[in-house]
Amino acid sequence: MKAIRVREFGPPEVMKPEDVPDPAPGPKQVLVKVKAAGINPVDAYVRSGSYARKPALPYTPGSDAAGVVEAVGAGASRVAIGERVYISGTSTGAYAEKALCEENQVHRLPDGVTFAQGAAINIPYATAYRALFQIAKAMPGETVLVHGATGGVGVAAVQLARAAGLIVIGTGGTERGRELVMQQGAHCTLDHGKGGHLEGLDPLTGGRGVDIIVEMLANVNLDTDLKVLATKGRLVVVGSRGRIEIDPRDIMSREAMVSGVLLFKMAEHEEASLRAALSAGLENGTLRPVVGQEIPLTAAAEAHLRIMAGGAFGKIVLVP
Ligand SMILES: NC(=O)c1ccc[n+]([C@@H]2O[C@H](COP(=O)([O-])OP(=O)(O)OC[C@H]3O[C@@H](n4cnc5c(N)ncnc54)[C@H](OP(=O)(O)O)[C@@H]3O)[C@@H](O)[C@H]2O)c1
């Protein structure tokens, strides 16, 4: 099969297509024929060599994909050959024509959800769900600021929050992106590229601030975020690419909570409940992954350039 291989950490060009042997499923494993693979920022951090977790070289990047079950190993009974699935991790890498998964990394893809959309589910929707409901304990009627709403996690957070009855304010850096955020269910949008954009929250919340912030770029926004949280507000750091100085008094004076999310820290029972919630949303149509760009598998390097370039518009997926 064709797979993208990384033989040294470095710029996007270190990702090259190669012919590699087809993996074979062992006990309790499933082999998935990949129809689309999701690009996540973490794939680019890992490839660059700057991320805390480094895979052994050479490796095939990617954790998210959707496709069809091609083979199952002994004792694997959750899915059958020919079933449409999305995956939440793989031992052989998602940027490939086939991916070898543990049985519990394979989930049914509801009818009506395309393979490209399926590749956009795992990290974005799981992260957004965990941030909103497992960490921030969002309740219907509360107000949430999705700070960075145009990309993978942001779009998922907007759809999830809206479906749960929250008032949703989303930010984007482009006009086109902000239009997308409105179409996904936000009540209004702000431009995070404009200085002082959070002042726009005052008229929207009657000056009381927002109950929840889901933050995609904490190293830029954390200090100002803390000043627009309501009393008892909760802020969840999803993304951060550096350091920032804050005033702890802003947390104290609001009895606010600042937390982080990291998918790998999820307990088994939390994942089971999260998967059930995502399945329900995908089946009833409240969750509709947005795929802005489909790129051939062999052009993975270009996909990494684009995900780090800004101007997000939903997800970028690779198509073998
Ligand atoms: N902790 C975890 O477990 C976890 C899981 C998933 C993702 N993440 C991290 O979360 C971040 C978002 O992930 P993603 O998959 O949604 O990435 P993405 O699809 O590339 O989207 C990036 C988002 O950040 C926005 N952004 C850019 N400048 C911003 C600013 N000044 N203020 C607020 N937002 C800004 C972008 O908006 P425009 O392009 O419109 O400017 C876009 O909405 C990444 O840093 C990723 O590594 C962490």
pLDDT tens column, 229-278 = 999 999 999 999 999 999 999 999 999 999 999 998 999 999 999 999 99
Which residues, listed in sequence order, are joined to residue 259 by a DSSP beta bridge?
236
Mean pLDDT of the chain: 97
The torsion angles phi and psi of 229, rounded to 5 degrees, stand at: -80, 145
Nearest ligand 1 atom to alpha carbon 220:
31
Confidence (pLDDT) at 284: 97
Residue ranges of alpha helices (H) inside 130-255 are: 152-163, 175-183, 201-205, 218-227, 249-252
Confidence (pLDDT) at 116: 98
Token pair in block for residue 281: 């949303």
Report the alpha-carbon distance of residue 275 to residue 106 in Å, rounded: 11
Centre of ligand 1 to C-alpha 31, Å, is 31
Confidence (pLDDT) at 238: 98
Confidence (pLDDT) at 14: 98
Report the alpha-carbon distance of residue 83 to residue 287 in Å, rounded: 21
Contact 238, 127 (CB under 8 A): yes
Beta-strand relationship, 229-237 and 257-260? parallel
Contacts of 300 (CB under 8 A, 6+ apart): 4, 12, 15, 17, 39, 61, 95, 318
Contact 230, 251 (CB under 8 A): no
Contact 125, 263 (CB under 8 A): no
What residues in the chain have per-residue pLDDT under 70? none
Q: Decide whether any atom of ligand 1 lies within 6 Å of the 172 Cβ.
A: yes
Nearest ligand 1 atom to alpha carbon 149:
43
Confidence (pLDDT) at 27: 98
Nearest ligand 1 atom to alpha carbon 237:
1
Kindly give the interhelix angle for 268-284 and 122-129, rounded to the nearest 10 degrees.
110
Token pair in block for residue 153: 């996690």
Report the alpha-carbon distance of residue 131 to residue 3 in Å, rounded: 32
Confidence (pLDDT) at 229: 98
Does the model's pTM come out above 0.85? yes
Centre of ligand 1 to C-alpha 153, Å, is 7
Identity at 210, one-letter amino acid code: V
Confidence (pLDDT) at 71: 98
Q: Decide whether any atom of ligand 1 lies within 6 Å of the 100 Cβ.
A: no
Which residue of 132, 145, 175, 216 sits with most ligand 1 atoms within 8 Å of its CB, as the best mutation to test the pocket?
216
Report the alpha-carbon distance of residue 4 to residue 302 in Å, rounded: 13
